[in-house]
Amino acid sequence: MKPLNAIDAPALFWTEPDVFQWKAEKAVGALYAVGDVLRTAATLRASEREFLELFRWSETVPAQPFQQVAVDPRFYHWARLAFQLLTAVRGGVELPPTARAYLKATGIDSVRTLLDTHLAQYKTFVLALAILEGRAVNFSPLPVRLPFAIPATHWSFTGDAELALAGLRCPGIARAVVSGVVVDLPLPSTSLEWSSALRIEVAPTIEQAGRALVLQPHAFNVPGLRDIASVVSAGVPYQWASADTLRAALDWMQIYAPDTHAQFFHGMRVVALKPPFTGRVQNTSCSRLPGAAMFTTTAEPVTLAEDLIHEFYHNRLFGLEEQGDFLSVRDFDPVADEQFYSPWREDPRPLYGLLHATYVFERVLDYWLAVFEHATLGQRVSQYAAARVASLRIQLEVASQQLRRYAAFTPFGQSLFDALTCLVAAGAAEADRLGIDAGTVSGTLNTMGHLVFHDDVNDQPSTVADSLRRHRERFDAFQRLEGIRRDCSPTVQSLYWK
């Protein structure tokens, strides 16, 4: 790991791979903090004693399998919650909102009981360590909620059975209790109908340079997470059916966003895809599951590549946030005050959300500029790329000008914002050089995930300028664009205030 002061700002914000280790380091630190508290405790409950025994066992595991488990998205979620619950129970520290949401989602009536239950969940990571090392381990049966995915592996369990995991008997054979009966469960190379009530699924993986991306929707079956959990029902068979589309999207990224592709497998561990226009959210990631994201499939890999880039940079920014806050409170709370116009959404957003959007969409703009410049891709793709460029260069200016006007940046945040605004300006200049403007016909995806070029209202061709103006008229609830009018470029002023 490089010292933070040895990394220049552009590399730190956009290319340095160590960024993706910071959340894993925090998670391991939280795990050891929990272990240290319990090792020095005068008395221990049964759940704490069993956790401590398994923690000591995991300390004997070699570094490589331990690191594989430490970067699993659910490990970060588990470790941070374990520390928060333990300090609440033993130190009287108030639970943060995320932990309170977790308590509510589990339906457990006390923090003490939730801590017992949560410490027991460490067994899932112990099982993963045992599988990766090929080493037997036993623990008292842990009931799991189906569908359940074993962390850091491609196996999961689905069905109506009551399943409790109890360890690893030998490589390839897990110990379990199924509907009250002690059994050995195989960990097969292909999905297996073990019984009428239990199926053992094997998720597809995509590998590059020794790193694996697992397409595992069951990894998102986590209490307290709502939007990202909507992909769970898509199931593993759908991942196999969609894997080639994902590979094609990664190929688009490799050609037209090579810097992003070069680090994608450093940062992303688990993804899952769901059918078009199912659920409330189409694509999303979550800071509590670093290295994970959910996507909606599309008939156009070129647009799925945009979504991959988008969620990847959200994950990168989540990692950067481990080094400190970007925003501080001045006139507005950067997280709580949802009063700012997002040109990408229908609801007002906080400044924190605008910063995240600006950061990720700047990279998306860079991708579409590269796609547009490739003249042999065909008219439909070139036309859609032009529409995305025309929209994004305006949207990015609107978002960044609001941040400049209303946000209070920390020194770390100011460094990011200064570098970001330079890239936004460079993207706009490149759009001008290519002759792309808001008079371009707008494009979107239809319900089948195909590119279409029409107006949402009357099914007639519409320009990007028309679409952007209509969006502002409907969704700038707090009239924030009026506050930045004088700061905007002539291009933006002529679009919104002609």
- HEC string for the chain: CCCHHHCCHHHHHHCCHHHHHHHHHHHHHHHHHHHHHHHCCCCCCHHHHHHHHHHHHHHCCCHHHHHHHHCCHHHHHHHHHHHHHHHHHHHCCCCCHHHHHHHHHHCCCCHHHHHHHHHHCHHHHHHHHHHHHCCCEEEEEEEECCCEECCCCCEEEEECCCEEEEEEEECCEEEEEECCEEEEEECCCCCEEEECCEEEEECCEEEECCEEEEECHHHHCCCCCCCHHHHHHHHHHHHHHHHHHHHHHHHHHHHHCHHHHHHHHHHCCEEEEECCCCCCCCCEECCCCCCEEEEECCCCHHHHHHHHHHHHHHHHHHHHHHHCCCEECCCCCCCCCCCECCCCCCCCECHHHHHHHHHHHHHHHHHHHHHHHCCCCCHHHHHHHHHHHHHHHHHHHHHHHHHHHHCEECHHHHHHHHHHHHHHHHHHHHHHHCCCCCCCECCEECCCCCEECCCCCCCCCCEHHHHHHHHHHHHCCCCHHHHCHHHCCHHHHHHHCC
Structure confidence by residue, pLDDT tens digits, 123-138: 999 999 999 999 999 9
Q: Which of 145, 174, 189 is the C-terminal boundary of a domain?
A: 145
**Bridge partners (DSSP) listed for residue 170:** 173
385 plus 302 within the same structural domain:
yes
CB of 85 within 8 A of CB of 115? Answer: yes
Above 60 in pLDDT, residue 222? yes
- For residue 147, is the peptide bond before it cis, meaning its omega torsion is within 30 degrees of 0? yes
Domain contains 466: yes
pTM of the entire predicted model: 0.95
Final residue belonging to a domain, choices 119, 145, 171: 145
The reply to whether 215 and 119 lie within a common domain is no
> What range does the domain containing 340 cover?
208-496
Mark whether 240 and 110 lie in a shared domain.
no
**Range with the poorest average pLDDT among 201-210, 414-423, 460-469:** 460-469
Angle at which helices 97-106 and 111-120 cross, to 10°: 80
Contact indicator for 306, 262 with CB cutoff of 8 Å: no
Percentage of the chain beyond pLDDT 70 is 96
Instruction: Please list, residue by residue across 300-339, b when 16 or more beta carbons sit within 10 angstroms of its beta carbon and e when fewer do.
Output: bbbbbbbbbbbbbbbbbbbbbbeeeebbeeeebebeebbe
Does 201 fall in a domain?
A: no
Asked whether residue 24 falls in the same domain as residue 141, the answer is yes
Q: What's the confidence (pLDDT) of residue 376? A: 76
Instruction: Kindly state whether residues 233 and 316 are assigned to the same domain.
Output: yes
User: What's the token pair of residue 199?
Assistant: 């199926």
Is 197's pLDDT higher than 70?
A: yes
Residue 370 lies in a domain: yes
Residue labelled with tokens 């994902």: 246
Please report whether residue 200 resides in a domain.
Answer: no
Angle made by CA atoms 252, 257, 259, in degrees to the nearest 5: 135
Domain co-membership, 90 together with 218: no
Specify whether 93 is located in the same domain as 215: no
Same domain, 244 and 101: no
> What average pLDDT does the segment 145-159 reach?
98
Same domain, 353 and 243: yes
Residues 327 and 469 reside in one and the same domain: yes
pLDDT in tens, 343-382: 999 999 999 999 999 999 999 999 999 999 986 778 889 9
8 Å CB contact between 165 and 174 = yes
What pLDDT band is residue 451 in, cutting at 50, 70 and 90? Answer: confident
- 173 within a domain of the structure (yes/no): no
- CB contact at 8 A, 352 and 335: yes
User: Is 265 contained in some domain?
Assistant: yes
465-496 b/e with 16+ CB inside 10 Å = b?
A: bbbbeebbeeebeeebbeebeeebeeebeebb
The domain tally of the chain equals: 2
Question: Within a domain: residue 469?
Answer: yes
Domain membership of residue 189 (yes or no) is no
Asked if 294 and 398 sit in the same domain, the reply is yes
Q: Give the residue from 145, 162, 177 where a domain finishes.
A: 145
Specify which of 81-85, 228-232, 437-441 reaches the highest per-range mean pLDDT: 81-85
pLDDT digits (tens, 9 = 90+) for 87-134: 999 999 999 998 998 999 999 989 999 999 999 999 999 999 999 999
- Taking only the tens place, the pLDDT of each residue in 155-186 is 999 999 999 999 999 999 999 999 999 999 99
Same domain? 256 vs 135: no
